[in-house]
Structure 1
C-alpha cells in the first residue's frame, strides 16, 4: 500500500486529500501505473507538465522516474498560484 497525497486543485479533482493505493508485489509503482490507478479526471490533470511529484518528502526532478514501493508516500503538487 502507498499513500497518495493530493494538494490544491488535485485534491478537489480526487474528492479527497489522500488515497491509499494497493501496490503490486512484483514491481514498484511507476508514473504510468500511478496514473492508471487514479480516477480519470485526476489522471488527466497529471499530464500538466507543471505538476510536481515528491516521494517520501523528496521532490523528484522527473516525475516519469517515479518508483514507489509499499509504505511510500507520493505527493502530487499542483503549480503554486497567488501573487
Structure 2
C-alpha cells in the first residue's frame, strides 16, 4: 500500500491525517477518492511532496508500495 498524508486544514477536509491507498499513477489514486476531497487536494495552492520531495508536476508520478504522498496547504503567518 501507499500512504497519503494530509497536513493542516486538509486533514480536516479528509477527516484523517493519513490514508492508505493502492499504488498506481497519482491521477488514478486521486480519482479513487471522494470527489469533494480530490477537488480540495488539487487546489491551485496545494503543494505535493512524494517521499519528502516537493513536486512541481504530478504528471507521470506513480506511487509504489511504501511510498508517501503528502498534501501541503498554503501557510499563512504574521
Q: What's the TM-score, normalizing by structure 1?
A: 0.82
1:72 corresponds to which residue?
A: 67
User: What's the secondary structure of 1:74's corresponding residue?
Assistant: strand
Aligned length in residues: 78
Q: CA RMSD in A?
A: 1.4
In the alignment, structure 1 segments of 5+ residues that lack a partner are 24-28
CA distance in 1 between counterparts of 2:71 and 2:35 reads 15
Which residue of the other structure, out of 51, 60, 63, is the alignment partner of 2:46?
Answer: 51
The runs of 4+ residues in structure 1 deviating greater than 4 Å are none
CA drift of 1:63 comes to 2.7
Q: What's the TM-score, normalizing by structure 2?
A: 0.86
In the alignment, structure 2 segments of 5+ residues that lack a partner are none
